[in-house]
Structure 1
Amino acid sequence: GHATSFFGPTLERYSSFQVNSSDDIRQIQSLENGVLFLTKTNLKYLSRGGLIIFDYLMDESEDMHSLLLTDNNTLLVAGLQNHVLEMDLNTVQETQKYTVEVPGITIMRQSNRFFFCGHTSGKVSLRDLRTFAVEHEFDAHSGSLSDFDVHGNLLVTCGFSSRMNGLACDRFLKVYDLRMMRATTPLQVHIDPFFLRFIPTYTSRLAIISQTGQCQFCEPTGLANPADIFHVNTVGPLIMTFDVSASKQALAFGDSEGCVHLWADSPEVTFNAYSRETDFALPCMVDTLPHLDWNQDLVPLSLIPVPLTNDALLSDWPAANSAPAPRRAPPVDPEILRTMKKVGFIGYAPNPRTKLRNQIPYRLKEMDNEFDNFSQVPESPIGREEEPHLYRVAKKYRKVVTIKYSKLGLEDFDFKHYNKTLFAGLEPHIPNAYCNCMIQVLYFLEPVRCLVQNHLCQKEFCLGCELGLLFHMLDLSRGDPCQGSNFLRAFRTIPEASALGLILADSDEATGKVNLGRLIQSWNRFILTQLHQETQEQEGPQAYRGAGSSSFGSSGDSVIGQLFSCEMENCSMCRCGKETVRVSSTLLFTLSYPDSTEKPAKDYEFAQILKRSICLEQNTQAWCENCEKYQPTVQTRNIRCLPDVLVINCEVNSSKEADFWKTQAEYSFQKAMMKRGGFDITKAKEISLGEWKDLGNPDMGHSYPSVEELKNIWIPHAIKMRLTKSKELDVSNWSETDELSPTDDPESVYVYDLMATVVHILDSRTGGSLVGHIKVGETYHQRKEGVTHQQWYLFNDFLIEPVDKCEAVQFDMSWKVPAILYYARRNLNAKYNLVSECPV
């Protein structure tokens, strides 16, 4: 007598309540405002949440088994007795009682011509829609009737036959033509039929179910094919019930252990053709105030309201200790003074129409000049600025101020105002310092740091040597910024860097004419290639000899190659049939996005786009040796091995890609909200301060504590990649807390954790900038602060600030555009004996 409802294709529990304390539920009928439940002597109408709308008790001698909704307000109820009750749902009263000649009606169906009543004796009677009189009767089965269904002009039954003083399941389905009112050729099936339903989507297919969990699909006028038999993985030994959704897109099976099995033709299944919005219960709101981090300068104290009190406040100063400071009146327009006429002491003049009504400059120039003597302290990105409500870029992400040297040099500049950590920033005033954030990313990648610090060669301009020196300076610094002058000077001498357009003039950086997002992605590809070339000729240092390898840096290879390189198989197929396979390697991957012309936009997981980008397939014109001319060629790319560090260029260079990221983030937000609390937040809904509180229980596995922290997130914090034995790649989103199962081979299954994100800040006032979010590991905290923990930090030149992990993956495409992602293999540092012996 207990009922439980589930929501959506994932079968999330919606409600659960007790219908009857003693009797079982015989049939369920869903209505617009609730659900009807039929028990042995009771008809209950309850809301979907379990509230009773009405409860109708019948005579104790009744034994009801089936009900049929004939229209919106009329219901037929039948059972093992010799009558059928007609009830009005509006008045909840019995309106008619029809006498039946053969008792025991357990199944009822309806068409536009007849009522169909299935009896326990194996007969099916066809009754008039108005008088309920018997028009026709089919003696379908000699034993008993199990199930039947009606569609169009066909009636199909299944049941039992009497054999040797017992009942045996009849493997022949009886098929009747309702136009001629006679039986046609019976349909022989390969299972013991117990339930059957028509699924009239494209054809009038039948779904035939046995109690052991076998399911067969066939046409009622054709032959049953054994290949169309499917099996339900039942928990209990028997299938007890079966039904088809109103949209014919889903099949539901219920077994004897109380489990529901859902089959559907697509992941996004629709149960009803015209569904209404589902009402969800409000989550349990705990009346607590949001947590404030006292070390964060950006959090306003007004988030916590002041309690009402009758006592005097500390801010209520006596009038003697304060002086009113009214806003100064602006000067009168000279045109008004010129045309003014005086009558007594009153002057009047026509409106010169130079300003709109009530328009006045908020800040007067005279007032600004009064504070010029106090502007020696440089303006801070976390300080107060004019009209902050007009600035959409968060203060800590804005371009930091230029350092103005005085007579005392750097000692006159307070860097602690921008960096309260012991990690070192980089000064931004040097030409081509746009790459500061990427230098920090490489520095906090422990194998790369040890590689370049152990590197020493005889070249005059070697980026590896200069980068090792810069990393050594970052190691020694205790919060003070460092200069990358030597590295950037060597960088400007590389011919390839100039050819790729990576060398900027001072005017280009100042005016903001350069697309920094595209530039830093090209710089990322260049620096990895350059370091790989500069280090592959030398023997790998002792620090990089792993436990199972003899020489990590053999001739022709490098640690950069070991970390980032992937061996790729490029296959070109001409339409003449000639196939060309070429093996190459790559140090990073560029995201390839699907065509966004389809409306509405499709929901993609980040893992799907990543797999599409790695295993790329494209059509292009290429030279064919067989045809001896350029031909349309299908080029496919497959990966042969997985890297230790996965580097991804996001390639968000136009509004098309930005709209794609924005749409996918909205889909992810909707799914996260549905997973947490069952809420569907529409696009137009704004999140108020009160909704900052946690929706749902955070102890149930939710990784984000507030609604705001779920916005603008699409990329996962971890990715699982697997190479099958046939060298096919599987990519899936993963969780930071999940571990591999014991059956997974660690040599072919890699879990990557997000290590860094580089973003392009769009700011029309300053020309934009590049910042990085970096997950600093335990070894760096141990060296700098003497503690062992991991923490995400924002690196904006010499501004360094700890941030939450969700902020590292939040991308508001109006001002914060993703450029580069770094995923590092889990427990990467354990693979190497990382000992840095700086040769400088």
Structure 2
Amino acid sequence: MDNWTKIAQIPAIRYPRGHVPSQADANEGVSYLKFDDSFDLLWVGDKRGTLTAYCGCSLQLYSACKAHDSPVLKILNHKKGILSLSADGIRLGKREGPTISNLEFSVNTKLTSMTYTSNTQTEVLVGGEADSTGFKIYKIDTVHNNISGYISYKHDILHLDTNLRYVIIGRMDGIIDILDPKTDTIIKSFNPISNGLFYMSVKDNNLITTSYSVKAGGKNKQPQTVFDAWVTSYNLANLSVGTPIPFPGNAAYALHHPIISNLLFITNIGGDNMSFIDTMNPTKMKFYQCEMPSYITAIDLSASGEFFAFSDPMQNLFLWSRDMTGTKTFALVSNPLEYPTPMTEVIPLSARILKPDSSLSSIKLPPYTRTLSSVWPSDLKFKVGALPQQIDPEIIRSSETTPNGFTIAKYSKEIFGPRNHVSPQYVINKSGNDGLAVPKFISERDDYVDYYSVVEDGLLPEPIKPKKPLVENDYLIFEYTCKDNDIPNAFKKQSISYSKFGVDDFDFDFYNRTEFAGLEIHSGNSFMNPLFQLYRFIPSFFNYATNSLSEDATDEINLLMELGYLFDMLNKANGRHCSASNFNRLFSSLPEVQNFGLVNDNIISTDDYKQRKMIQTLNKFLLRRLVQDECALYQSDIPEKLNSLCGVITVTNIFSNFCPLAQKRENIYQTIEMNTRPLGLNSGLQDINILNYLEASMNRHIQQQIRCDNCHSEHPVNAALQIDTLPPIVVLNIDMNNQLLNEIRMYKDWLVPYFYSAQATMGTPVLRKNIISGITGNKKQYELIGFTAQITNKQNESHLVTFSKIKKNPNDKGTWFLFNDFLVIEIEEKEALDMSVWWKKPVVVIYKRVDFDNQFHYNSYNNLNDSILYKDHFSRGTREGKIIEYELLTRDEAPEPGSLVALDAEFIELAPAEFEFTNTGVKKLMRPPKLSLGRISVLRGSGIKEGTCFIDDYIETHERVYDYKTSFSGLESNDLDVEKSNKSLVSLQTAYRKIWLLLNMGCVFVGHSLIGDFRMINIQVPPAQVRDTAICYYNKSEKRKLGLKFLVYHVLQDEVQKGNHDSIEDAASALRLYKKYLVLKRTGRLNGVLEKLYIEGQMSGFRV
């Protein structure tokens, strides 16, 4: 620490203009100095009670205010400003000067010092002369600006300081007391070596003090104060006295270096002997001398360790540093200072531009005689324009080439505006909110109700969706009526804003005030969400998927069961948002999915045709995969269940007029591809609707010139596809290009809500909107049950939404709802079926026979195969060579409704969070980390084996793991590798089924912060089956939930999580906490314990 020198010296105290110096000014010196730890400021407190801030190395005046009527005795940095102390009051003020709060004591009080009790800066201990304070140390709540309590203490206090574990009290008689703020008791006292204590400094577990002795004077002489030639050191880790540090020249002030832990700054009272001393090598020191006429009155060392400042009785302020360049700052990270807003010049009315299209030449320039700076030479002028808008891929696809070689494409005025018109520039809004009101984060709301809230009797309520009343501007986001030819707000793509707490802090409930769950968009493959919502509200399809859950198939991926789990979760969510993360993870792992290109994390597509093809390909693939999974699940060769719902029997006749070729092929498909333009569209027919296109697609005829398999010659071969009957559920893929889709906009009521189907005498089907006359056969009525539509804006950005007609009971006529990911609203049928707007295109349409299965079978899981709960089901091998930390359930212990089980889950990170850094240095979370379930542990909650684990599943993963989060999860690199792990490794579907079985058997889950565990497991548990200790021990007025480790330490007087986390230990701790909660609730001691917990937490920073 060489090359220290004085870089500034100024008068420390400012006097108003016209002030006449007097003898009284000599008594108004500096009483305290403090460097700001967040800004480039040095704070000076004087004996007049004034606080002055000087900025930077040049010590320019920044702010000054009258803080007290008596001398400033101590200054502390605070996150909101500056905390200052006088003999009769404590004040919190902004750095700019205004007062935030001021707490005054009686005029007879003589306070001397103060210190924080924790790094939260919410509580301050204040002490002074014992008889003036009533023999108390006051606890000051800096949040509410009041005295929150006190500690009995009968000695006069000179200094107070803290290392955030203990509060160090320096008494006027020289004794040092060590106070434990958790128990408010003195745990150690150190007797003085000399007569009195002068100065002390504490950092981490090291306390240093300087002291003095009073020598009696001779005849007619005053007693003399002599400072000791050493600095006393104390070890706060073991509460012992350390080795004294010698200092030639008598030490008066000793301070810890804020950066280098073993470095001390020591000076004598006169300032002519200053040195930095390494405690590891105290003999190596270099002295500095300051020429000053008297002695040091106040001193401090900056948080960066690059500056120190001191003052003398002549009101001089000295600043020393090793930095001569002026680039260093007082704080480690110095924030920019706020300055008064400069006065803006008033623009005369004659020089104002009143309209956006007003010419700049209308503003006259003032007279000038020299060349204007705006006159740049021609070689420095460059034309800079915006990036051209990308051409819509559909325009290129639908373009035609003329015989002259010119390419011609149709131009849409509705999308691109009038021709030859320059569109105004606009700023891209990345948040996607388009200026609409955005709800507050949950952490910012005072009226938010936890989904798993505890009520007075200790039980949990039935699921009640917390709803915040809408104000006037909130309704704008739910507008679904088209105005000014623009996309209504409800149809626009929704986006999630992330706070520092991630996706859990986003208020999804604001966007959904219905009883039907929406789906999140950040879990990957969110383009599948509309398809899930489309099939979920078809009663027979819902029953088909959820009935499969009675079976047990966990060896291979079964999308039928995964769809059943997803539908069950959406039903149990009762309107809360859900995520299809488990389905997406297993779906993406299928090789066929990769081959079809169905893995896509892009929420918005700029190629609308490609996006439609992708969702239609997904639709066909999903239904074909359900055929395969049904056969595997029920061990049959024919998928009778799915075919009975949507199986379309097709007959293809292949023939030729040039040879005797005649073949007939029968197939069963689950969708009908509508890609045939009906005949007669150009003949002026007005009543054209979807039925015309459907009839044309059911009776198609094509002819191609190919090599014939019959005669082995090349000639035209005809193929005629015919569909005679429609299944109960008709799934239509609207496989049309933009040109055909633009045609249907011209037809009124193209998407019909009902139609009738019958067979003509020739066997061909007849489809009509009204009852078909002249046909005596069996007529069947179909109704539109739902459809998926594509929404495309003027920037050619597309996304998908779903319209579903939902019936609450079989006799209900049904109500239409819009599902735009997590935004769900009720919508009028007229608006839902309107296909005349330019921004909406049908993609997948589903009709259902009116008389076919209109009843949802919710929670009808009879004869559940629960054998997996009573046996091992490893991904590979047996128990041999594996570490087993659980004891399987027996049939005698079979769970019953109300059975308590303790649960904890651990996760791993597959991909890191994505941040955006602005040019101002602000960091914004754009996408949270991609997490995956790593381990689940479930313990018995009652009985002889209470607390014994019966499920301890490690989840195998084949994806690349970015971070195992070992310190939080206890998982290490080989634990989830099926080739290397010695843990009880299982597949995701195995682990999930166990938890799902416990849920549907009526078990009550106990755990800590279970909402996070349920999110990782991807399951929805009704509040009646949840006991969350984070909410049991939660005081809503404090706006902070307590951690498991903190609660176990203070409530159970035990310690957990000493090393890496362990899910079995955490689940057992949560179970013990819940049992203790029941006792506290029953005995009426809960509120008192909660109050004490939060007080202790504030003292310790809520850490153990």
Provide TM-score, normalisation by structure 2: 0.27
